[in-house]
Amino acid sequence: MVNQTVIIVQARMSSERLPGKVMMPIAGVPMIGILIERLKKTCLPIILATSTNIENDELAEYSKTLGIAVFRGSETNVLERYYFAAKKAKAQTIVRVTADNPLIDGEFIRENVEEYWKTNNERAYLTSAFSQSYPLGISAEVFSFNLLEEAYKNADHPGEFEHVTPYMHQNKPGNIQIISLKRTEPKHHYRLTVDTPDDFIFIKKLIEDFGCNKLSMEQIIKVIDDHPALQSMNRNSYQRRWNE
């Protein structure tokens, strides 16, 4: 099922717990710039989906300097924003990425896409998040444009509008093929996402002290394995559920 596959990165400046985080510098580079460079390893088109709010102007302009397309839509209805970004990109297969995960491994994402293509099923939804075996903050979701359009037309819960994919991963129509990738040795307690100041300090240390922006997912895991003090840096941070 090789077709027009597009990575759509969700980002905005108005994060509740850490406003402006996507443009906060790490090693002299805005956090989203680190993510985009890692995603370029997939060799797939990338589009930033942000909102029309004026506070996102800097984010949008910076992203354009990285050579990626930008779509601007609703601030709060992220599902709608994703849908029209995908239409603009003429995407047939979509890789959903959020900008608070700067250490996503482009090669791992490419492997996810290849696993999705093997299904040859437009009603498949693939993620590495559900198994809770990979570090939090390295996963993506892969699904078809047709499934996104169906979600856009049928979503009716506030969490579906904000988090884009609950219609799919909750299998609301009952006939979606859920593909959950799993790592042999669970590392879900390693938190590589940025929601809080502690998260940001942790990621900043990984990048500035250990060069993790240049490492693969497995190499990053080894860095944390080998330095136990790192594991406690953001242990008090927590992840919000889609339906909270």
Name the β-bridge partners of 144: 93
Contact 180, 131 (CB under 8 A): yes
Residue 240 confidence (pLDDT)? 58
Residue 238 confidence (pLDDT)? 61
174 sits in which H/E element:
none
Contact 160, 110 (CB under 8 A): no
73 sits in which H/E element:
strand 69-73
Query: Which residues neighbour 202 within 8 Å (Cβ) at sequence distance 6 or greater?
Result: 191, 230, 233, 234
Residue 1 confidence (pLDDT)? 43
244 sits in which H/E element:
none
CA 192 – CA 203 distance, rounded (Å):
7
Residue 5 confidence (pLDDT)? 97
pLDDT tens digits, residue range 80-118?
999 999 999 999 999 999 999 999 999 999 999 999 999
Tell which residue, 96, 100, 78, has the closest CA to residue 32.
100
DSSP 56: G
Instruction: Please measure the distance between the N-terminal and C-terminal CA atoms of the chain and give it in whole angstroms.
Output: 35
Residue 239 confidence (pLDDT)? 61
Question: Phi/psi at 142 (nearest 5 deg)?
Answer: -125, 130
Residue 242 confidence (pLDDT)? 45
H helices of the chain, in order, are 31-39, 57-65, 78-89, 106-119, 145-154, 158-163, 166-169, 197-210, 217-226
The SS3 assignment for 26 reads strand
Residue 158 confidence (pLDDT)? 85
What is the gyration radius of the CA atoms in the chain, in angstroms?
A: 17
Query: Which residues neighbour 228 within 8 Å (Cβ) at sequence distance 6 or greater?
Result: none
131 sits in which H/E element:
none
241 sits in which H/E element:
none
Positions of the chain with pLDDT lower than 70, given as ranges: 1-2, 238-244
Residue 116 confidence (pLDDT)? 96
Q: What are the structural domains of the chain?
A: 5-188 (3.90.550.10)
Residue 67 confidence (pLDDT)? 96
